[in-house]
Structure 1
Amino acid sequence: MLQKRSGRVFPGLILSILVAMLAKAIALYLPQLGGATLAILLGILLGNTFFTQNFLQTGTKFAESRLLEFSVVLLGISVTFQTIASLGIQGVLFIACMMGATIYFTYKVGQKIGFNQTTALLMAGGNAVCGSSAIASIAPSIRAKEEEKGQIITLVNLQGTVMMLTLPFIAQALFGDHLIAKSALLGGTLQSVGQVVAGASLLNEDVVAFAMLFKIMRIMCLVLIVFIFSQMVPATTSTTLSTKKKSPLPWYVLGFLIVCIINSFFPFPDKIVSSGKWISNWFETTALAAIGLRLNLRRFLQEGSKFLIYGASVGVFQTILAVILIYFLF
């Protein structure tokens, strides 16, 4: 059984590694772009032209999810309580305001445009918390249909990809060398962990670490968001909701926090820190290559103008709100 599963994972995983290696090689000649950016761009190009075969999907999905999760855990090697404390109360207020306003705006706009309640809630949760992971966690609690879930996952990924490729340049232009401001813009708006890592990688390693702190604060609110949304559905649909235990924090967030706690009390030797960063970087680049390989541009175009308008309006709102809050709070 294990051998059979490994056989399914192997082709897509190897392809992701090869694309990551190619991106790293090209980055030697184009250092201004960097391996992370090139990995996702090459992935998008190759995944929509030469490598569209279904048998690659299991391996690219593994690379996208598992390798990126391990990369996030390893980020904890270079983070301590002092690092987290540097965000201050302003960081907590920033995330609280961003999440609350994003949920309210997305939900109301969705209903104004003509989407039903479950679709609007999925979109709100995906943008406010952590993209596809949040959507997958929220969907059972509000009894969303598989079609609705798939459409919103597709839309959020498209929206996040566009923001991932544009926000780093906006951050650099507006905030220059202000590390916390740039990190807040990326970590407070981008939808998935992969998009935060990819976008921040366009700037530097410090932005990756701090942007992930803002992102993790959002992810830690997932259980609360699932509970609140489950109470918002009409009684006729909520009475048969599953009584399963609410979704816990993703394992990689707990892993990151555990590594961070250890590092705060018993600092890791420099050799372990440098090795951890190196491994994390390769995991990250491979995962980003897989994200690109899995991005189906044809499917995005098929979603229609109504979905695209919805995604664009939410993305613009998040960006403008984040910039305003950053100027006031940081």
Structure 2
Amino acid sequence: MRIKKEQWQGIGLVLILSIVSTYLAAYFPKIGAEGIAMILGLILGNTVLSSSSFAPGVKWSEKYPIEVGIALLGSTLTFQTIKSLGVNGVSFIVINMALIIGTVFLLGRYVFKVSLKESMLMGAGNAVCGSSAIAAVAPVIDSKDDDRRTAVATVSLTGMLLLFILPALTGSLFGTDDLLRGAMVGGTVQSVGQVVGTAALINPTVVTYATLFKLLRVMMLVVVVLSFAAIAKRQNQQEDGASKKKVTLFPWYVIAFVVLVAVNSLLTLPDGWHHVAKTLSSFFGVVNLAAIGLNLKWTVIKKSGVKFLSFGFVVGAIQVILAFILIKTFL
């Protein structure tokens, strides 16, 4: 994580863009800081800020801050989340996540013809917590940087689309039942920030329920990372010459995530720490999206953007349909 001299320029650019995006989010809450950062980064990184001098620092910003953010996210969670949702709530989330990942794998293989690793990135992003989940899974499956960036962009845009649709849709489907509306938002929207933003457009009670359901999805991050790492390892061993590749099953940030969840469950960390951890984790998510936007080039988007966007939007639609069926079944 050591910062080299040639990286400071790019890091400074990403930080400025992240701060500006956070400020603009107050005026464009429906898009959110992460969405603004990615859009601005994408535009500027392909036009006036395309200089190669920024590249080392932007690449550093894309990798390391989000790892710290993932670790810090653990300190905002407790095992009490599981208890508060009850058996039916937990069943809804676990089955929903399993079905989404299975759907992504099937669509990726038979409809959109993408690689298994690309499907795993899309599955993690949609089933767990957007860009943070993709960032956690990418290194353990040895995915390509361009695949990771495209997956993050697709999942983030799908989340933004759901943000605009779900407030009205949940009202039509569930009326004034805040629990069910919160379950739909918390069980489908991709990132934590987007979940809160979407629920806030409904009412504060829905924010509370949606956050609980979302946090349970986040707690399943470790299970998804380890499962995908095992699948990637098996795939590597089956490929010619790939058996020498090593897959890291326990990245430091996954270990830190688990430890902090346990510590917060047993000791209950101070509210001040929770606030700092949430703020930093959220900001590092913005930094990640800003860097990805700056690094994502038009040529990459032209090559696979339409296919991935179609993939993402189809998965998003199926995710909502599955969530509705499961909510009616369990809640």
TM-score range, shorter chain: 0.7 to 0.9
C-alpha deviation, 1:240, in angstroms: 6.2
Task: Check whether the contact 2:112–2:307 (CA below 8 A) recurs between aligned residues.
Answer: no
Aligned to 2:60: 62
| Corresponding residue for residue 172 of structure 1 | 167
1:266-293 CA distances to partner (integer Å, 9 max, x unpaired)? 2333333334444444333333332332
Deviation of 1:135 (Å): 4.9
Deviation string 1:281-307 (CA, Å, 9 cap, x unpaired) is 433333333233233344212237655
Contact map agreement 2:61 2:288 (CA 8 A) in 1: yes
Structure 1 pair 20–325 and aligned structure 2 pair: CA distance change class (3 A): same
Alignment of 1:258-277 (within 5 A): 258-277=259-278
Aligned to 2:103: 105
Q: TM-score, normalised by structure 2?
A: 0.73
CA contact (8 A) 1:60 1:290 kept: yes
Q: How far does residue 180 in structure 1 lie from its aligned partner after superposition?
A: 4.0
1:1-330 superposed matches below 5 A: 5-30=3-28, 34-113=32-111, 115=113, 119-129=114-124, 130-131=133-134, 133-138=136-141, 149=144, 152-153=147-148, 155-175=150-170, 177=178, 178-186=181-189, 190=190, 196-200=191-195, 202-203=197-198, 211-228=214-231, 231=234, 237=239, 241-242=243-244, 244=246, 247-303=248-304, 309-330=310-331
Deviation at 1:163, TM superposition (A): 0.8
User: In 1, distance between residues paired with 2:31 and 2:305?
Assistant: 32
Cα distance, 1:107–1:32 mapped onto 2, change above 3 Å:
closer
Q: Tell me if structure 1 keeps the 8 A contact 2:74–2:257.
A: yes
The separation in 2 between residues aligned to 1:241 and 1:259, in whole angstroms, is 34
Structure 1, unmatched stretches of 5+, are: 140-145, 191-195
**1:11: Cα distance to partner?**
1.5
TM-superposed CA distance for 1:50, in Å, is 1.8
CA displacement at 1:327 relative to structure 2: 3.9
Instruction: Please give the per-residue CA displacement for 1:117-141, whole angstroms capped at 9, x wherever unaligned.
Output: xx442233222234365354335xx
Q: 1:79 to 1:137 in 2, by over 3 A?
A: closer
Q: Distance in 1 between matches of 2:122 and 2:35?
A: 22
SS of the aligned residue for 2:220 comes to helix
**Once the two structures are superposed, what CA deviation does each residue of 1:19-73 show, in whole Å capped at 9, x if it has no partner?**
1222233345555655444333333332232222233233223323322232333
Deviation at 1:185, TM superposition (A): 1.1
Aligned length in residues: 307
Q: Could you tell me which runs of 5 or more consecutive residues in structure 2 were left unpaired when the two chains were aligned.
A: 125-132, 172-177, 201-206
> How large is the RMSD of aligned CA atoms in angstroms?
3.7
